Structure formats: structure tokens, C-alpha cells
Structure 1
Amino acid sequence: MAQGRNRLLTASVWGSCALLGAVLVQFVTGWGSGSSAGVINNLAYLPAVVLTAVLGLRLILAGGLDQRERRAWILLEVSFVCQVVAHVASLIQKPGYPAFSDYLYAGAIPFVVAGLLLLPAAHRNRAERVKLLIDSLIIVAGACMTLWYLEIGPLLQTPGADPEVIIFSTAVPVLDLLLLFALITLLLRRSETGAAVALLGGSMAFKVVADSTYTIAYVQFGVYFRPGDWPYLLWAAGAVLTLLAVHRRLRQNGPAPAERPGRGRLGWLPYGAVALASGLLAFVAREQSLYPLGGMIIGAIVITALVIARQMYAQRENRRLAVTDPLTGLSNRALIAERLAEVTRQPLRADRHSAVLLIDLDRFKPINDAYGHEAGDAVLKAVAAALRAVIRSGDTAGRLGGDEFAVVLPALPTRAAAEGIAQRLVDALRTPVIFGDALLSIEASIGVAFRDETTLDTEQLLAHADAAMYAVKRSGRGHFRVYTPELDTRARDAELRRAVAGDELVVHFQPVVSLTGGGGMSVEALVRWNHPTRGLLMPGAFIDLAEETGAVIPIGEWVLRDACRQVAGWRAANPAAESVWLNVNLSARQVTQPALVETIREILAETGFPADRLVLELTESVILQPDEQTVARLNTLREMGIGISVDDFGTGYAALSYLRSLPVTVLKIDRSFVTGIDTDPDTYAVAEAIVRLAQAYKLHVVAEGIETAEQARCLVEMGCGYGQGYHFARPMPGPALAELLESRRVLS
């Protein structure tokens, strides 16, 4: 229904515009004469101006406008209504000038001026507002000089003219000057609040030109335009643009989009106005002698031109200094932001690709620390030289700050071109920098992001490049990488947290058995992600990211709760499961949480799982340098009866002394020390030494990664009590492990 109404409305708008085409027909063919031409002209206007007023009222009543913009459209609506009444009056009034309709046309202008000035614009400080006002007044002053000479002055000197005619005729160009002031202010604000404002500005420009040429032609040349002549065509075009502006704004259905900073392409307008005024002055003085008046006028024009040239040069220099990094001579952050804004505003094309490269120097801080900031500055200058040597003439290279750089690559023929530039930069930045007697070696990590449907603004484009750059740093540094959604840590972090909330995680269990044939068994809880599109993911696909972003905390809590709940269920259903120990991994981030102990206590109370059957497995990074709070938390957990295990022992740098000072009960030997113990005597000796060490500290020893019976036999010889690996069982879902326990009970 709504779609049908929108189509009908659009058809009505374009139908009204088509009716105004009668003015174009009059202009081309000369159709109609005398009073009939005026009637045809006014009848052609009526549908368009009535529909403009109706749509303007609908826009105001529909809501969705902020307070300032609503006030602007209310004022514009008053002018629309005046236009409707004026066109109706022109059909029924008697001939004469100025007529009632003329007063209505003129009375609408102040409301248009006020409405244009109230339209939304970005916030500006006081200095910017003063500059905008001065620029607008310069242009209006130039126009005022022209209109005074060509219109107002001659009108005031008309002998024997009716005073009412003189007053009204001079009032129209004055009102047009006000309209010009509002229009120029709108243009100089570089507002990009949408096509509606651009259409409205175009409409007012047509009106100013038509009004001025109509009066100038009559005053200066005695030419009187009638309906069907070209000024009437401009007025009709203005009415069409006004109708389209209101219709376009109504279709936006919400607040006007925020203004984006422009590059001041209309900044020449004040100088154009000065040139116009100077040209007019020279024209008026063309018949004067060079001495004394003519020479003074020419000198004033020359001096004004020189002042303008100096001002423009100063502005260019100020602009250059404002957007240049003083150390490297590259663009600074402000200009890079401008170039990126231009890139994101451009429409997407299949044959044109734009990209941004974010560059971060590797091992730059040690150079500053070892050789001083002068050496660091030398490196930064060398990097700037390398960037200039590699990029194209139309590209922009800049320093964002510190040792971070960016390159904006617009309008590339292919994506491979950006990757080629990135690789050349990687190679160029590997060249050592000579500083005194030192040879300073650096590399760079580069993230590449392309402008596409997902990069709607500068922030998103930079965020994508930043994600790609940090992926390079995580994977070894010194190369480049192109952004893919999988690298977006923020998006993946949000996805991980949604997975926890949406029960997409599952827990599998792997048995830990006694190698000596004794009773009792442990199970280690291992998390999996049942991704809705990528299938079942192993921990290696997401745990590192979860550690980096902090999502591992809610994941760890979920795993502990679900594992305790499942094993508690086994214990209730199967008496043989009462002796089963549950091993759950505890991340380094979880250990640092002040509420860790309370969280574990609540989970045990909620699930009914006994604390003395729970073992928490810690990585060596926690054991290496535990602070007082960490030691206190681990001691509290141990006092609750919970076992503490060191996981993957031997892969990190754990100090042996901490095995005595921390409440550790179990030591798990990493699989790398198990592989090869049945074939390599040296590997056997190392594994045996670890087992003896654990025994010396009175710790239970678990060997991971056992895949053959021979490996298990060797571990028994060493005195290792427990083993875990594919030789005994692979990780399996909870129900499968519950069946395994049930089968063991039946067999026993």
C-alpha cells in the first residue's frame, strides 16, 4: 500500500513538472500571444506550486526533522503558500504594476532567505563563522555594486515615474540581494545535507538570475520580456527544482545526513566578487582621463589584485603547513583523513579500486632507546623517502604519528596493483638506514584495506586496515596482509560473545587414564564451537582471539559450568562415575579476575559438583610470574579442595622454584616430550628427567599425546602414573563418554 502511494506521489511530481514544460514550448515555438500567453503561463505553474506547498506541509507534519530543520521548512512553507496565492491572484486580477501578485512574490523572498539560513550545517567555531560572514558579504557587496549601477541607480533617476512603481522596482533587487546572501552562505558552508538542499539552492539561483536580467534588460536596453521569453523559462525551471527538492527531502524520511568536510572548491567566490566590482569600476571610469581619476582607479584595481594574490598565496602556504608533517614532509593525519573521505564518497566501480595501506614500523622503539631520538628521526625520514619512491603521483603518503604511516591509493585498475605496491613497500623498508657508524635495520607490518560495500566511512576503512596490520604483527611481522572479515577482531569478538549467549559452544571430554592399571579416571573438558556456517571449530580457531579480546572469560565460565553440570549428571546416574575427576582449563585472563574464586564457588553450588573432584589446569605463563593476588586466589581454591595442574609443562619458561611455592598438585607433560620416547634415547632421557622432577616435588604426573602402546610402556617404566592421548580415546561429546563409563561399570 505504502509503495503504491509513493509511486503515485512520484508520478504526480513528474506530471506537474511536465505541465511546466508548456513554458518551454512557449519559448521554443512562440506559442500564445498577449494575455493568452500569460494565462497559459500561470495555469502551467499552478499544479507545481500547489503540490510543492502540499508536500512541504506533509514534510513538516510527518516528523523526523530536528528542531532547527523543522523551523527552516516552516519558513519555506510560508513562501510556498505565498507562491500559490500569487499565481491564483495573477489569473483573476486586473492588469497593472505592481499588482497584488507581485507583492506576494516579493513577500515570499524574506521567508525563503530565513529558511535557507536555518538549514542544518556542521558546527563551526566563532572564527569560522566570522570568516563565512565576511566572505558572504564580500560577494553580496560586489553584486550590490553591479545591481546599483545596472538597476537601482537608473530606476531611482527615472523622471516622472510613479513613486509606488519606483519603490517596488528597487525593492525587488534588494530582496534578491538578500536571497543571494542566503544562497552564497549555503554554498560556502559546503553543506552536503543531501540533494534536496542542492536542488533548493539551484532553484534560488535561477530566480536571482531571472529577476536581475528581467530588470536590467528593461532599465538598460528598454527590452520588456513577456511570457514565453527566456526569463520565464528560468522561473519555471526554479519552480521545478523547488518541487523536486521538497519531494526528495520527504523521501529521505528522517534527519538530514551529517555534513562532511569539503575542500572549499567554492572558496574563489569572494575573489570573483572583488574582480567583478573592479571590472565594473573600470567600466564606469572608461571615459575618464588617466589624470587624476583614471590613474587612481587603475592603481586601486592593481593594488587590490596584488593584495588578493598575496592572500591566496598565504592561504596556500598555510594550507600546506597545516596538512604537512614537519619531520618527514609527508602529509599529516588531517590530509590523510581528507583523502580517505574523498575515497569513501566516490561511487563504487568494477574497473576502479581504491585502497588504504596502514604501515607500522617493527623494532622502531629499540632504535630510539639504544641510539636516541636523532637516530629515530633519521629512520622516519628514510621511510618517507621510501614511500615517495614507491607510490604513484596521484597517491597520498602520510605520517599519522609516531612510527605509523598511511598511504591512500585511489582509482587503481585492479586489486593486485595495491598488493604490488604493498609488497614493494615491504621490500623497500627492509633497506638498512645508516646513522653515523651504526646500521639500523627495520621492517614494516602493512595492513591493506579496499574500499567496498562494507566501508561506508573513513573510520571503517581505517579499522579494516588496522585489523589487517595487527594480523601481520601476530603472524611474524615484516610483510603485508589484505583485510578479510576473519581478521576483524572486534567483529569476531562480538561473534564469540554471541556464541556463548546463543549456546553455540559445546564441550567434549577426553579421558585421562591410569597407566599402571589402577582405578580412577579423569576427563579433560575441551571446548568446541559449533559455528552456524563454518561447522565444528577446534579451539585453535578461536581461543587465541578470545585470549586477546577478553572473550575467553565468559567462554571459560561457560565451559566450567557446562562441564560440571554434565559430569554431575553422570555421577547421579552412574555410581562408577563418582570417582571421576574433572579437569578444566583456566586461562591467564581468568586467573587475574578478582571475582574468580566467587565465580567458581557459585558454579559448584549451582551444578552440585564436588570441589574435591575438580582440577583446574593453568598454563605456564600463569606459573612464571604470579603476583600476590594470583597466589592468594590459587591458595583459596586449593583450600576448597580443588586441584591445581600445570598444563603443557616444558613448552614455556616456568621457573622450577614456583612448583614449590605454588599450590600445584598435578604436572602435565607436553606431547612434544612424549613423541619419540620409544625410538630416540635422548628424548626418552628428557621425558624421564621431567617425570623424576615432578616426583621430587611430590606431584602427580600426566603425559599428554600418547598415541602408541610402546609410548605408554616407556612412560610406565619412567614411573609416570597417568596418560592421555589418542591411544586411549579421542575427545568425545558428553553422552558418548557417559556411555563409555556405563560400559566400564557393566564390565566390572
Structure 2
Amino acid sequence: MRTGRAGALCVLVCAVLLLVQQVWFFGGWGDAEVRTLVTDATYVPLALAFTVLAARVAGSRRQEPRTRRAWRVITVACVCQLAAHCAWFVQSHFLGTTAYPSAADYCFLLFSPFMFAGLLMLPGQHRRRRDRQKLALDALIVGAGGFIAIWYLLLGPILNAPGLTSWQRAFTAALPVGDLLLVLAMSTAMLRRHQPEVPAPVRLLAGSIALTVTADVSYSWIQLNGGFTGGSWPDLLWLAGCFLLVLAADQQYRQPRHPAPRRRDRSAVLVLPYAASIAAYVLLAVQSAHLPINPYGGMILGSAVLTLLVMARQSHALRDNREMAVTDGLTGLANRILVTERLDQLARQPIRPGQHTAILLVDLDRFKPINDTFGHEAGDAVLIAAADSMRRVIRDGDLAGRLGGDEFAVLLQRLPTREAAGAAATRLLEALRQPVIFGEHLLMVEASIGVAIRDDRDASGETLLQQADTALYAAKRAGRGRFEYYSDVMDTKAREAELRRAVADDELVVFFQPAVDLATGELRGVEALVRWNHPVRGLLGPGEFIDLAEETGAVVPLGAWVLRAACREVAGWRADLPDADPLRLAVNLSPKQVAQADLVRTVESVLAETGFPPARLTLEITESVILQPDPLTIGRLQDLRDFGIQLAVDDFGTGYSALSYLRRLPVTVLKIDRSFVTGIADDAEARSVCEAVVHLGEAFKMHVVAEGIETADQAAALIDMGCSIGQGFFFHRPLPPAEAGSLIRRQYLSRPDPSSRSG
């Protein structure tokens, strides 16, 4: 965060410097020497800024490795330009050096090959061989157009310029050649971009290169035709190019590792080859204006017109190919490609009140029997009729498409209410119920529809399609021939993703319920109980999400998080309270955690990380684990026990308890479920059953802990049975970490210091 603020401050300072220089330039303040000094002095901090910011990108772990490698080379190019501007400032205003080429000129020249290499190294989309060939041709067209302009303006005059040595002539020609390489690399980077829209950093780099090349060409042309003086208008282009480099480096640092695409319109970049060709012909026309119309003028004009006609013909061919690529050949509706593209576009639009976006996923009911009974021609007739019905129902601007088979999608946008999507689905259902005449047969078809409304601005097009698919199958399960709205309750995957995100975003919190000595009320330990601090639904108990976590497997990372968080919290209490060494911590293990091959390694790692002593940890397992323990499970539990950790059977007696397994498993604690404790104060039968469970634990030489104690009479009855440890609302409710910590400190700080006792 601090680095981001430093980058923003750096950009702001550069903007202020550039603004001051512009005001100075256009205000006409000072003589030519002062304006040159101000301009040359502005270059140095700008160059330093984009060098530092580029180095920050090159070393940032926020970027993918290919991006970092490319920006390392770009950083070298920035260093060359920084050295060039510093050398130019020193030699122009302190040394008065007039030698050509100077040290600054060499550094300026080195900028081009390094920037050329860095731009080509920028990551791009993986392409087929034909696509790479097309990309190369497009880039070469741009390069050829640039070569014509540079040859006309610079290279030709340089080769014929008098008074230059061979080295000076070659060096002078190398500068525009370097600019040509930059144009070629920049066009390649933009044409092969790795996402549908050219990323902002690449666009800024392109703008910087365009301004720099324009300034270089202007500078060289002025030098050849009268001599360049500092502080003139090409400096404005160079300075603007420097500032765009600053912005590009800062934007790249802020760019996420895998940025979401923003649009799929490629026309702005695809016109580059055509624009370069047109510019070359315009330049050729200007240069050849003095030639006679016959034969040269007519030939040049004909070549230009012919090229433009070929371009126009190619654009029509590309449009036809595009339509063929995104149209379903049977129904004439959009195909999956276009539906996916349009859905991604809609998913990226901001959510505005009164402008809802919905996707309707339509599946024809009983379509397969029609195909099997009457043949594929009948099936095709039904699909064509369904497509015609959709065209009649949807509005202009909405999109209907066939995803494959008998599955269709309808994209609705700018709906006034959520209910408008349901009304559209009802109209579709009615339209699709119209019988289809096929020869002598009357084919009856219905449809089921799943409706997904875009409520989450972060939901992708693929997510919306999955939600509509989930609602579609809910409609089929509900009896077909109807529609259903998607809701989170339907989608286990969405709920699982939300739960995993809660673990990653620290939305979970561990509460602690104290376990006490039933006779004295003194704390003996705490049990860790997880809660979900849901950003919308508030604080949720485990009953709201643990079953889902078990079902989806999310309980494994969730359980590891709870163990780590609980051990870290209690270890902190123990470190602050020397007398709290007897304090124990109990943490639940789910059956899926026990089944993990790396369970022992995970527990040992958490204890090593948090410094919690294994001898003070109790891991609680459920009866489902001890009912059918396999050898691997027994081995893992024994390894935990050998490590010094106590094992407890939680909620004993609520399932199909197998007493024989209690002897085989290394279990040391038996926790009596609250269902056995309820009623023991006034029900003799309940009291007898609970007493039998207590004695069973004693027979197996286990510590017995009672749960769910809510009254003093229940606590007294348990003491009479021989149970000494318990927990429940009568003593303490589950407490958040701060309150639990305060309770622990009050108990252990209030104890007398044994060393102060006499005798």
C-alpha cells in the first residue's frame, strides 16, 4: 500500500513538473538559453521517475514472470535514457561540448534496441501458426509504412547530406532505424495483446513510443534543414513521451496478475496496418506531386486506388467470416462464441438501478424422443421453429443464441425490474408451446428455462451462465415446462466458493467455550468453536455452514485454519500468564480431515508455527470416525497420540457407537453429548443412561467431559455420577477471543503466587 502511494506521489510530482515546463514554454518566459535550461532540467527527474517505477515493476511479485522479465529489459532501456538526459544536461550547460556523436547521443541510441527487445518480450496470447503469420504480416505492413516515411524524411537526405564523416553518417542513420524498430515492436505488442482489450500499460507505452518517434523524426529533419535549438516544440513531444513512460510503469505495477478483460472490440488496433498503408500512399502522393500525370501520376494513383479497393474487399471478407464464425448454421441465431462474447461484455458493465441484465437458459423438453422417433429432420424442424419463436418474443437489442443441441440462451439487458426477466421467460414458454407441423405429424414441444439476474458486479459471464444452468435444472426437477430464478441456495458450488473465500479473506473467527471443574467452577480448558462473520448475513454459527463444508471438502482448509487460529490465540494467553500452563485447548477434527494423509504433518506444522505445546492440545473426533476405522486412520491417530496430543470422542452416543473400537483407538477423552445431560435432574431414566455413559468412560480409563450443562441441578447430578469436568451455558457461553482472554486472565492473575506462601 505504501509503495502504491509512493508511486502515485511520483506521478503527481512528474505531472506538476511537466505542467510548469509547459506554462514556461507557452508563456514565452526568459530568453532561448533559459527556456533550454528549464526544458533540459525537466527531463532528468522525469527520466529518474520512470526508471525507478520500471525497476519497481521488474521486481514486483504482483506481476507474472514473463511480465517481470520484459520490464527488466525495459528498465535497462530507461536507464540508458536517464543516462542520456543527464549527460546531455551536463555537457550542454556545464561543459559546452559540441562533439557529435556525444556520450548522450550514444545513450539515446542504446535506448532503442533495449526497448525493442522489452516490447517484444511482453506476454501475448498463445496463437496458432496461421495467426502468428498473420500477426507478422500486420506488423511488417506497419513497419513498411514507417520505413517509407522515415526514408523520405530522413534516411534519403542523411545519405546525401554533405559535411558528415562516414561514422557520423552511419550513426545519424542508426537513430531513425532505431525508431523504426520501436514502431515495429510496438505494433507487434499491441496486435498480439494477451486479452481482448489492449492493457492500459501497453497503450501508454504505445503513446510514449509514438510521441518519441515523432519527436525524433522532427528533430532529425530540423537538424538536416537548418539546425535544432533546445527548448523548441519537439521537446514538448519528448517530455510528454517521458511522462507517458512514468504512467505506463505505474499502471503496470497496479495491474492485477490476471486482469479481467474489459471488451472484445479489436477494431481500434486492427486498423493499424491499413492506417500505415494509407499514410505511406499519402506521403508518396505528396512526394510525387511534381511528376507528370502520364505515366507516373496515373500509375501511382491507380496503385493507391487498387490498394484501397483490396482493403475494402478484405474488410467485407473479414466481416462475412466474422458473421459465419458467430452464427449457428441451422437456426441463424447467434452461436456459443457470440453468446459468450456478448455475455462477457454485459458482465463488465456497471450495475445501475432500473437497468438489470439477465440470461435465460432454455432447454427443450422431450426433444430427444422426437429425434429418436421421427428422425433428425424432424428435430431440425423443431429447432428452427424454436428459433423463430424466440425472434418474435425478444426485443431489439437483446440476443438469442443456440449453445448446442436443444439448448438456447437469451440475453436480456436494460430490464426495468428483476420481474421483467420472469415475464420474458413466461412469454418464451408460451411461444415455445406452439405445435410444430412436420409432414403429417404435429409435434408438441415445451421448454424449461433457468433465469440468472446479474446482481454481483464481479460475476463473470461464465459464472452467470453456470447460474442460469443451475436454475434450469431446478426448473426441470420441479416438473418441466416452467422457469426458475437462480438463487444461492441452489448452487453448492457458489456457496462452496463463498466459504473458501471466507477462509482466505479472514471472515471466520474462533470463539472459545470454557470447560470448568464442576465442583469449583475453575477453568480447565477451552474448546474452539468457529463462527462465520458473514459480510451480509452477520455472525453465523457452525450449523449454517459446517454441513456444506463437509459436503464440498472445504472443511479441510477450514479446519486447518481453525486449528492454527485457536493455537495462536491460546498460545498468546499462555505466554502472558506463567500460571496458565495447565490450560488445555480442544479443537474439533472433521472426518474428512482425519482421512487426509497429511493430517499429522499439518498438525505438527501448526504447533511448530504457533509454539503451542502438544501435551495441552485435545483433538476431538466424531463417532463416524471410530465406527469403521481403517488401519491408516488408526495409524494417523496413534501418531498424534505419540506426539503427546490427547484424542477425544465428541458427541458420544448420538450415532451408532461401536464399543469395541474404543479399545482399539488411542482415545483418551469421552465427551458426553448434551442429549444425555438434558433431563438428568428430574428424569430417573435419563439419569441412569447418563450415569452408564460416565461409568463406561471410566471403564475404558478415559477422562469424561459433559457438554450442554444448563442448570445447577444438572451439574450437581454429574458430580454425583463421578464426572468432574463440564461445559455449557450454565457456566459460560462461547466467547469471542477478547472476552475469553479477559476471563482467562482474571482467573490466573487472581491466583496467589505459590512462592509467596510461608512454610
Smaller-chain TM-score bracket: 0.5 to 0.7
Paired residue for 1:726?
A: none
- Match of 1:287, SS state, is coil
Query: Which stretch shifts more, 301-310 or 278-287?
Result: 278-287
Is 1:130 the counterpart of 2:128 in the alignment? no
* 1:472 equivalenced with 2:475 (yes/no): yes
C-alpha distance after superposition, 1:507-538 (max 9, x if no partner): xxxxxxxxxxxxxxxxxxxxxxx999788989
1:485 counterpart = 2:488: yes
CA deviation profile, 1:602-634 (whole Å, cap 9, x unmatched):
9574379xxxxxxxxxxxxxxxxxxxxxxxxxx
Please say if 1:56 is aligned against 2:54.
yes
Contact 1:23–1:228 (CA under 8 A) maintained in structure 2: no
Q: Name the structure 2 match of 1:37.
A: 35
- Cα offsets for 1:68-121 (capped at 9, x unmatched): 322211211111111221121112212535432122112111111110110111
Mapped pair 1:213 → 2:213: no
User: Residue 702 of structure 2 aligns with which residue?
Assistant: none
With over 3 angstroms needed to count, the CA separation of the structure-2 counterparts of 1:178 and 1:375, relative to structure 1, is same
Partner of 1:606: 661
Question: Offset of 1:328 from its aligned partner?
Answer: 0.7
Given that 1:24 and 1:228 are in contact with CA atoms closer than 8 Å, whether structure 2 keeps it comes out as: no
One-letter amino acid matched to 1:108: F
SS at structure 2 position matched to 1:286: coil
Change (3 A) 1:283 1:245: closer
User: d(CA) in 1 for partners of 2:442 and 2:203?
Assistant: 58
Question: Kindly tell me: are residues 603 and 359 of structure 1, through their superposed partners in 2, closer, same or farther at Cα, counting changes over 3 Å?
Answer: farther
Query: 2:81 — aligned with what?
Result: 83
CA distance in structure 2 between the aligned counterparts of 1:604 and 1:374, rounded to whole angstroms: 66
Task: Report deviation, 1:199.
Answer: 2.1
- Residue 257 of structure 1 is matched in structure 2 by 259
The Cα RMSD (Å) is 4.2
In the alignment, residue 336 of structure 2 is paired with which amino acid?
R
- Structure 1 regions of 5+ residues with no counterpart? 505-529, 566-581, 585-599, 609-731
Paired with 2:14 and 2:304, the residues of 1 have a C-alpha distance of: 49
Tell me, yes or no, if the aligned pair for 1:190 and 1:262 is still in contact at 8 Å: no
CA distances 1:193-223 after superposition (whole Å, capped 9, x unpaired): 743333222221221222233334565xx47
CA distance in 2, matches of 1:432, 1:276: 59
1:239-278 per-residue CA deviation (whole Å, 9 max, x = no partner) reads: 11211222233344x7453778834222122122222223
> Aligned partners of 2:400 and 2:682: how far apart in 1?
64
1:138: Cα distance to partner? 0.6
| Aligned counterparts of 1:414 and 1:319: Cα–Cα separation in 2 | 34
- Structure 1 residue 184: deviation in Å? 0.9
Q: What is the aligned partner in structure 2 of residue 709 from structure 1?
A: none
Q: Which amino acid is 1:174 matched to?
A: V
TM-aligned CA distance change 1:351 to 1:176, over 3 Å: farther
Can you list the C-alpha shifts for 1:410-432, whole angstroms capped at 9, x where unaligned?
A: 44454344333223222222222
In the alignment, the residues of structure 2 paired with residue 737 and residue 367 of structure 1 have an alpha-carbon distance, to the nearest angstrom, of 63
The one-letter amino acid paired with 1:31 is W
TM-fit CA distance, 1:458: 2.5
My pick for the range that moved more, 293-302 or 125-134, is 293-302
Among 14, 20, 31, which residue is 2:12 paired with? 14
The letter of the residue matching 1:135 is: D
Partner of 1:197: 202
Instruction: Report the AA paired with residue 262 of structure 1.
Output: R
Which of 262, 277, 281 lines up with 1:278 in the alignment? 281
* Displacement after TM superposition at 1:473 (Å): 1.4
Secondary structure in 2 aligned to 1:288?
Answer: coil
8 Å Cα contact 1:343-1:451 kept in structure 2: no
The letter for the 1-side match of 2:70 is A
Per-residue CA distance 1:274-326 (angstroms, 9 max, x = gap): 22223333333333334333333333223322322222222211111111111
Partner of 2:639: none
* One-letter amino acid matched to 1:606: Y
Q: Evaluate the alpha carbon distance shift between residue 33 and residue 166 of structure 1 in structure 2; reply closer, same or farther with a 3 A threshold.
A: farther
Provide the C-alpha distance between the structure 2 equivalents of 1:10 and 1:362, rounded to a whole number of angstroms.
Answer: 57
Partner of 1:316: 319
For 2:425 and 2:293, locate their aligned partners in 1 and report how far apart those are by CA, in whole Å.
Answer: 65
Taking the aligned partners of 2:180 and 2:116, their CA distance within structure 1 comes to 10
Larger Rg: 1
Q: 1:436 to 1:493 in 2, by over 3 A?
A: farther
Answer yes or no: is the 8 Å Cα contact 2:7–2:53 preserved in 1. no
Q: Match for 1:76: what amino acid? A: I
Contact 1:364 1:442 in 2 (8 A): yes
- What is the correspondence of 1:725-744 to structure 2 with a 5 Å cutoff? 735-736=677-678, 742-743=684-685
Once residues 479 and 321 of structure 1 are traced to their aligned partners in structure 2, the CA distance between those partners, rounded to angstroms, is: 33
Q: 1:145-184 residue pairs with structure 2 within 5 A?
A: 145-161=148-164, 163-184=166-187
- Separation in structure 2 between the aligned mates of residue 227 and residue 497 of structure 1, nearest angstrom: 60
Q: Choose which of 305, 327, 347 in structure 2 pairs with 1:344.
A: 347
Q: Distance in 1 between matches of 2:390 and 2:676?
A: 57
Q: Map Cα deviations across residues 558-603 of structure 1 (whole Å, 9 max, x no partner).
A: 99849999xxxxxxxxxxxxxxxx999xxxxxxxxxxxxxxx8x95
2:331 aligned residue = 328
SS in 2 for 1:20: helix
Quote how far apart the aligned CAs of 1:133 are: 0.8
Contact 1:353-1:410 within 8 A present in 2 as well: yes
Is residue 57 of structure 2 the alignment partner of residue 72 of structure 1? no
Contact 2:627 2:661 in 1 (8 A): no
Letter in 2 for 1:213: S
Instruction: Give the Cα–Cα distance (whole angstroms) in 2 for the partners of residues 583 and 18 of structure 1.
Output: 73
Count of matched residue positions in the alignment of Structure 1 and Structure 2 = 557
* Structure 2 CA distance for partners of 1:191 and 1:348, relative to 1, 3 Å: farther
Specify the alignment match of 2:442 in structure 1.
439
Q: How far does residue 742 in structure 1 lie from its aligned partner after superposition?
A: 3.7
Residue 459 of structure 2 aligns to which amino acid in structure 1? L
Judging changes above 3 Å, is the alpha-carbon distance between structure 1 residues 213 and 412 closer, same or farther for their aligned structure 2 residues? farther
Query: More deviation in 65-74 or 488-497?
Result: 488-497
Evaluate the alpha carbon distance shift between residue 318 and residue 7 of structure 1 in structure 2; reply closer, same or farther with a 3 A threshold: closer
TM score, norm. by length of structure 2: 0.65
1:22 to 1:225, Cα distance in 2 relative to 1, 3 A = farther
Q: Secondary structure at the match of 1:15?
A: helix
Whole-Å Cα distance in 2 between the matches of residues 250 and 304 of structure 1?
42
* 8 Å CA contact retained: 1:426, 1:444: yes
Matched, 1:415 2:470: no
| Paired residue type of 1:199 | L
- Partner Cα distance (2:658, 2:377) in 1: 57
Deviation, 1:404, is 0.8
Deviation for aligned residue 1:401? 0.6
Contact 1:188 1:264 in 2 (8 A): no
- The whole-number CA distance in structure 1 between the counterparts of 2:375 and 2:659 is 56
Contact preservation (8 Å) 2:139, 2:273: yes
1:31: how far off?
2.2
Task: State TM-score, norm by structure 1.
Answer: 0.66
Distance between the aligned counterparts of 1:91 and 1:186, measured in 2? 32
Residue 451 (structure 1) aligned to one of 450, 454, 458? 454
Partners of 1:493 and 1:546 within 8 A in 2: no
Deviations 1:446-493 (A, max 9, x none): 222233436432221211111121221122222222222112132457
| Structure 2 CA distance for aligned equivalents of residues 497 and 62 of structure 1 | 27
What secondary structure sits across from 2:447 in the alignment?
strand
Deviates more, 1:411-420 or 1:429-438: 411-420
Decide whether aligned partners of structure 1 residues 482 and 288 sit closer, same or farther in structure 2, where only a CA change above 3 A counts: same
SS at 2:39's partner residue?
A: helix
What percent identity do the matched residue pairs reach?
44
Select the residue among 377, 381, 389 that pairs with 2:380: 377
Q: Which amino acid letter does the alignment assign opposite residue 440 of structure 1?
A: L
Farther off after superposition, 204-213 or 284-293: 284-293
For 1:745 and 1:35, the matched residues in 2 are separated by: 103
- Matched to 2:418, the amino acid is R
Relative distance call for 1:215 and 1:426 in structure 2 (3 A) is farther
